[in-house]
Each structure stands twice: as C-alpha cells, then as structure tokens.
Structure 1
Amino acid sequence: MFLGTHTPKLDDKGRLTLPAKYRDALAGGLMVTKGQDHCLYVFPRAEFEQMARKVAEAPLTNEAVRAYQRYLFAGTDEQRPDGQGRVTIVPELRRYAGLSKDCVVIGAITRLEIWDAQSWQRYLDDHEEDYAQAREEVLPGLF
C-alpha cells in the first residue's frame, strides 16, 4: 500500500529518486503513465497489468473506450529502478506533468503519483473544500 507525501528532486538527466520505503514493492518493475489532473501515475508492473486487462475488456466499439486506451497505453513507460532507487521520467511525461526540479510523490493506495511541487500545492489549495464535502459521498456513515 502506498501512503504518504515525499519531496524528491528531479535531476538534470530527468531522474527521480523514489522513496526508499517503496523500493521493494517496485523492484520488479514499474509503469509510469499519464494520470489525471496532469500528474504521473506510477504502478507496480503487476498492478498495471491487472488494470490493463480490465481496460482491454471494454468494448472497442465505444469511442470513449478507444480514446482512453490510446491515451493511457501510448503514454506509458516501463521502468526498473536503478541501484539508488532512481527512475528516468521520459521528456514526454515530464512535459505532460509540467515537472520542474521540485517534485512531490504521494502515495495513493495502489499507485504513486508524481506532481510538480507548485502544481500539487495549487491542487491542494483548490480542492480542500471538495475534500471536506466528499467525505459523506466516499464514506457515508463512517464519520
């Protein structure tokens, strides 16, 4: 399970050091892809393959399904962390997410998300009220 917030730096070669506590879960390989809200999703390879099978089962006759599949799979890069836990974020994905040197990596249960630090702060500022209101929709009766 991926949880927490980390603030690694993107180096001049486009490499990002993943948090040490996740390295074992990602040692077998990972998939970096375009996420929603202009962040990047990082899935363990097995988790991505499971999701890909579900996406592939959707009917190709549906235009939205085809568009989603194209966007998701064309924008995916397979990586294996190096000995220091670094992965290279390819230029296309760096551009999509607007990544600068300062990044934020958040745990989102089944995946990590990589955000540009300023974009992440704007997202938090813009969605604080949404988070407070969504509690009842997401977890009715729990609180």
Structure 2
Amino acid sequence: MFMGEFRPSIDEKGRIAIPVRLRKAFGEERIVNTLILTHGFDKCIMAFRQDDWREFVETRLVPLSQADPKNRMRLRFLMGGAADCELDRQGRIIIPQHLKEYAEIGSEVIILGLYNRVEIWASDLYARYRPDGESLNSFAGELGF
C-alpha cells in the first residue's frame, strides 16, 4: 500500500527520485521497476504499479461503452496519456514531457502515496488543492471523529 507525503529533489537531468518507502510498497519486499504514469485529476500525474494499472484498466475502463462520447474522451485522457517509466538503479524516473507540461511540473514536486497509486504534483499547484481547516473539519465529521 502506498501512503505518505514526500518532497524529492529533481536533479539537473530532470530525474525525480521515488522514495524507497514507495518503491517497497509491495506486500512482498519486491522493488518496483516500472511505474505507469498518466494524466491525473486536478492537474497531477498518477503513477501505478503495473498490476494495479492493469486491474484499473480492466475493471474500470474496458467495461465503459465506447458508444458514449464521454467514455471515449475518458479513455483517451487516461490511456492515451499513459507511459511506462523505468526506474534507474537509484530509483529515479524521468517524467515524459507531455505529462510534465500537463501537471505544470517545474523544479519542486510533492509525491503522495494514496493506497493503490501515487500522485505527483507541482508543489505550487498542490498548495492550492490542500484542504482548508473548514473542509477538514467537515470530513472529520463524515468519518465519525
């Protein structure tokens, strides 16, 4: 399971170091070698393990009726933007240019572990999406706190 917030550096070659804790997020102590990156919602990049991506596609995207123009658009958005990204020996990836542009990735990123996926955010964009105190209080109430 992925969880946590991380602020990795981006080196001069544009590589982002994926934190070891996220790379070891398998139940077995396997290391992730490839991530599937795609357009995320709210201008972030979503990253999946290959198995989680395959399950997401097979259970959520494939069943969508292609007769519906909205479903075709959704498929293009998620599948058309997807890319395999290999981690190098130091656990770094290079985000494809089209995804960097979509997510407005500059020199600082925030990586969030969100159960079965990871989100990669431009730091300044994520600051705008962070919930405020009022919405957190409402959410706490919904959870029964």
Fold-level match, TM-score > 0.5? yes
Gaps of 5+ in 2: none
Structure 2 distance, partners of 1:40, 1:104, is 11
Q: Could you report, residue by residue, the CA deviation over 1:69-97 in whole angstroms, capped at 9, with x for unpaired residues?
A: 01111111111211000011011100111
The percentage of aligned residue pairs carrying the same residue is: 28
Specify the alignment match of 2:38 in structure 1: 33
Partner SS for 1:84: coil
1:63 aligns with 2:69: yes
Residues 10-49 of structure 1 mapped to structure 2, 5 A cutoff: 10-24=10-24, 25=26, 27-49=32-54
Whether the 8 Å CA contact 2:22–2:113 is kept in 1: the answer is: no
Whether the 8 Å CA contact 1:14–1:91 is kept in 2: the answer is: no
Structure 2 distance, partners of 1:133, 1:58, is 33
Task: Tell me which stretches of 4 or more aligned residues in structure 1 moved more than 4 Å.
Answer: none
Residues 1-143 of structure 1 mapped to structure 2, 5 A cutoff: 1-24=1-24, 25=26, 27-54=32-59, 55-124=61-130, 127-128=131-132, 129-137=134-142, 139=143, 142-143=144-145
Whether the 8 Å CA contact 1:33–1:76 is kept in 2: the answer is: yes
Query: TM-score with structure 2 length normalisation?
Result: 0.87
Paired residues in the alignment total: 138
User: Counting strand residues as a fraction of each chain, which structure ranks higher?
Assistant: 2
Tell me by how many angstroms 1:136 deviates.
Answer: 4.3
Query: TM-score with structure 1 length normalisation?
Result: 0.88
Structure 2 counterpart of 1:92, one-letter code: H
Tell me by how many angstroms 1:123 deviates.
Answer: 1.3
Q: Could you report, residue by residue, the CA deviation over 1:84-132 in whole angstroms, capped at 9, with x for unpaired residues?
A: 00011011100111111111001111111101111111211xx323333
Gaps of 5+ in 1: none
User: Counting helix residues as a fraction of each chain, which structure ranks higher?
Assistant: 1
**More displaced, 111-120 or 127-136?**
127-136
Whether the 8 Å CA contact 2:86–2:93 is kept in 1: the answer is: yes
Tell me by how many angstroms 1:29 deviates.
Answer: 1.9
Tell me by how many angstroms 1:35 deviates.
Answer: 0.3
